[in-house]
Structure 1
């Protein structure tokens, strides 16, 4: 029979291997979801940023578009690398488990063969009868009869165990073969992605070289754009502070912290908005985040760093803008030589929609989730359609990207 100590060690090893495989499998699923999202984002980038002729876009816009693609491409390569490395670990784990299963299977077969030989030597019914009749008393005969039954049951059990282990080994070999094919596919995908990344980086390098002679002109444009963005930031902050003060005045209560004093209705709306973090619908039907939230250096002038309060969503020409949640239009602001901005209040939260060409609502209007409130402005000189989008809690700006559902 199988050595009990060895059997325990092998069983324990298989249990630990199984737990490790479950953990790796869960991580692989998460990586696959992330990979599919990145592929979808790349598809959106190609559809929204690279379908127009290059002549229709400014050089700066082209550089920004390529940069957006480069960032997604790098993430694709990172994820496929992680998947390939994880598959390598899974393959190694499975190979170890196959070795253990083969050892167990061989020992089961050896044990079974020994039983068959023993059964053959005493196979006649007469031997079994004589074994019973030679008992000194009834109790001994009964015990011998039980032993014969147990021995037959054990033979059957060993036969079934061999079948089970053989099936496990076959299944694991099939799984291993698939994992090796998957890994090879990932390696090939990575190879292609790296080639494409090299091409995109060279393209960006050529465009950067083409503007070096006019760097002063571009730097002036960038600084002007930054000044306009800073002015808009101040205006939005002013509007939010005034909205909070006016709302608190209506309740007859003051807030030393400058935050909303919420009515029961507003408190409920705030809680509903907050519970939808990561599930809010996008403000456009189709889009890709071209400009991220937070501090970023200028692509063309490293001396300029801007702290972006918005994300910038590239979308189709004439795209409609939709409210991301139920609320009330707090303000519609239009700066001199600027495009309209809509602020929608959701309890103690605000969603802000910037760079619009049309506005379909007015201050004080109640809006519902998904309701069209305007259209995105399309810039003919840059050749892009960009929606600026923000979220505030009271007067504190938040990164809106984690609030939006995955496209």
Structure 2
């Protein structure tokens, strides 16, 4: 019965430890991702700290940091709670194990005393000779062997439980040290968060005073963005018309695909959600679609793609194999490179240097140009868009963890 209870306890211990380890590993991975994100934000902001920034840009930067640090604090809290839970579980296991060990030692002590009283050679011989038959003598001999084996097994079980108890104590000490370290990091992150929140509150008060001026500024920027988007759509129409003319089609809205192009488009589609980022490191500072301005909440903004801030001299890279269909200078956004993947098109806008030529076949993760500075913010920014024919797609649904 004791063996059965121990076996069930061991199974529960193993299962719980496995679940804890998996969750702990997931949280550690998430924490490292956020810490990397924060490091990237800080590197990018440092690279533009010499530039005189507008009030809106300052607010955007602080909000960006606050959002990331808030995520980090949440993960720290989850890690600390998980360790606390496991510490409590281990402490309870230790109590149960000590009780089991005490009972085992007590039983073993009684067994040793009994064995000592009856373990001399004469008693054993007399016990065998007093048998009424050879079969009974054989059974008594077997009983003596089993008793000796059971005593040995009890001793080994005590040793095993003692080692397990020591291992749990060691693990408990390690977990408490780990929790102390995480709580210290969490306090540091919260301190930074409080400081940023105070600065944000002060800046937002200034924004409120000049809200009308900022509305006008945002609308002007949206007009510039709309012009760039219109130019890109015009260029895509031209590319569709030019390609379709080769096969006699007059459509300017949909590519007429060859079997090879169909296969490429199918492969591209299969990679939805798994495609690499168009830069090696960066942060999304403008998301896809129509939404309220993050600072001036009474104003709506719209984006046909995503804006990715990256480090100085970073390269843009192709997210999938394809053919360079267009390279054009876009007013207000440096150079745009368009790559065709069947009837999908990826647009890499705001490059100040290009490494490919029209008609080139490119492969996944190939550098295609150097990302230029955003004239209004001074940041190194890539404007990335994704289309299927003329249909605008949300890159965040296609790029891995964007």
TM-score of the superposed pair, with normalisation by structure 1: 0.87
Change beyond 3 A, Cα 1:337–1:191: closer
More deviation, 306-315/175-184: 306-315
Give the equivalent residue in structure 2 for 1:316.
311
Give the equivalent residue in structure 2 for 1:113.
109
Kept in 1, the 8 Å contact 2:131–2:137? The answer is yes
1:329-374 Cα offsets, whole Å, 9 max, x none, are 2333444444332221122332221222333434333222333322
Give the equivalent residue in structure 2 for 1:16.
12
Kept in 1, the 8 Å contact 2:306–2:384? The answer is yes
**1:194 pairs with 2:190:** yes
Rounded Cα–Cα distance in structure 2 between residues aligned with 1:143 and 1:363: 94
Per-residue deviation, 1:207: 2.6
Rounded Cα–Cα distance in structure 1 between residues aligned with 2:81 and 2:143: 53
Give the equivalent residue in structure 2 for 1:176.
172
Give the equivalent residue in structure 2 for 1:345.
340
Equivalent residue of 2:29, what SS? Answer: helix
Kept in 2, the 8 Å contact 1:28–1:86? The answer is yes
Kept in 1, the 8 Å contact 2:346–2:384? The answer is yes
**1:367 pairs with 2:338:** no
The equivalences for 1:281-296 within 5 A come to: 281-296=276-291
Per-residue deviation, 1:233: 3.4
Rounded Cα–Cα distance in structure 1 between residues aligned with 2:168 and 2:290: 49
Rounded Cα–Cα distance in structure 2 between residues aligned with 1:338 and 1:56: 20
Kept in 2, the 8 Å contact 1:332–1:362? The answer is yes
Change beyond 3 A, Cα 1:48–1:336: closer
Change beyond 3 A, Cα 1:265–1:79: same
Rounded Cα–Cα distance in structure 2 between residues aligned with 1:380 and 1:234: 19
**1:82 pairs with 2:92:** no
Rounded Cα–Cα distance in structure 2 between residues aligned with 1:7 and 1:157: 11
Change beyond 3 A, Cα 1:137–1:175: same
The one of 16, 31, 34 aligned to 1:35: 31
Equivalent residue of 2:210, what SS? Answer: helix
Per-residue deviation, 1:82: 1.1
1:108-159 Cα offsets, whole Å, 9 max, x none, are 2122112101101101011111111111111111111111111111111111
Kept in 1, the 8 Å contact 2:333–2:374? The answer is no
Kept in 2, the 8 Å contact 1:57–1:381? The answer is no
1:16-42 Cα offsets, whole Å, 9 max, x none, are 343223112101101100101111111
TM-align CA RMSD: 2.9
Segments of structure 1 that go 5 or more residues without pairing to the other structure are none
Give the equivalent residue in structure 2 for 1:330.
325
Per-residue deviation, 1:77: 0.6
Equivalent residue of 1:38, what SS? Answer: helix
1:246-286 Cα offsets, whole Å, 9 max, x none, are 6567567899xx76564332243234434545554433344
Give the equivalent residue in structure 2 for 1:270.
265
Kept in 2, the 8 Å contact 1:297–1:304? The answer is yes
The equivalences for 1:93-108 within 5 A come to: 93-108=89-104
TM-score of the superposed pair, with normalisation by structure 2: 0.88
1:300-322 Cα offsets, whole Å, 9 max, x none, are 31111224332222123343322
Per-residue deviation, 1:182: 1.5
Q: How many residues align?
A: 401
Per-residue deviation, 1:163: 0.7
Kept in 1, the 8 Å contact 2:228–2:333? The answer is no
The one of 185, 208, 211 aligned to 2:181: 185
The one of 124, 128, 151 aligned to 2:147: 151
Change beyond 3 A, Cα 1:122–1:324: same
Equivalent residue of 1:135, what SS? Answer: coil
Equivalent residue of 1:130, what SS? Answer: helix
More deviation, 206-215/36-45: 206-215
Equivalent residue of 2:182, what SS? Answer: helix
1:84-129 Cα offsets, whole Å, 9 max, x none, are 1111221222222222222221222122112101101101011111
Rounded Cα–Cα distance in structure 2 between residues aligned with 1:91 and 1:248: 67
Give the equivalent residue in structure 2 for 1:356.
351
Kept in 2, the 8 Å contact 1:14–1:97? The answer is no
